[in-house]
Structure 1
């Protein structure tokens, strides 16, 4: 089985169910989870990546390409996460930030080649030595995505990563992120409160409790 399988994934707080998902996200597909603030969207991502607060109870299984990762620590799940904040390390250069995602034993010439290639593909060639503080918001978003992809995840979670960008830049970066994920055949779970994000993603849209939402029926 390929893709990301949420097998009767259920998250409870007390007697209330916040997440109830039973579905598979295929390679290259984007599942959008929509709902108001506090409805359980980010809780679903925390369950998938393994950072769920102990106040919650979780049932069901999470499988990635047929491998059960439910009880594995976050670093062993091979699931990447891109958040609203780009969380670039301020004490490292752009290249240093990207190198952080590469295997520690990789020879230095190969590390440099991978970093340079990634920057070229993102239209940021020659930026390896730059201070992240000198980058624009869109450039920082691209570097954050590159760092996530260089770690070679098997799936990608997007926790409202476009919400801090203005409308024009939002559309541009959203397309950049989705295109790169599809090129790599990654199953993607996008959490958003913006109908336009869900429409652009083009995949199924559900609430945290698994209710199917028709993207063409979402309010503009």
Structure 2
């Protein structure tokens, strides 16, 4: 089976080359770019399975690049940054990144994160089958196309990141069931839950901002205080 292709985007050549060595040792194919503009060009002409994206870069930084990628692609993105403050992590995740690792990082940990994201991305069919024969899930005016990852409310297209889509799909396919933050994290991220309340809550908030007319009074994703979240029957 042909190994996946990973795009390494970092303005520091030493870091690009270091990551390249470790990924190639695992059998992955790699492409390298020194800034966001070069990365977007490579994405146009190549099939990329995952992107490692530095935040602090000249010309077009990682946040801008991530937002541009998310306009068209659901490719997993792991942000790289020398900053470790929570606000930087949250900003990266809310602009569409799937994971975040701070520099200096252990290359073996980075490889483990890459493998985890690729497993999740390439095995979305592990979700239970949708409750519609045609691959559509409908909740009032909200329509989720499982096959194309498109979401609509009425005639309006809703742009969701891959994580946001997975969370919405999980809740919509299991209407009436309350999912704890821990269960959402372990099901969607496919990793053990380790103090990740903030991560899930940020994603829920972003979904509500996109699908709810009034995010403070949601009609789709309900909060069950002290328990978790659900979509009503």
- Please report the TM-score for the alignment, with normalisation by the length of structure 2: 0.28
Structure with the higher fraction of residues in helix conformation: 2
Greater RCO, CA 8 A, separation 6+: 1
Relative to total residues, which structure has the larger strand share, 1 or 2? 1
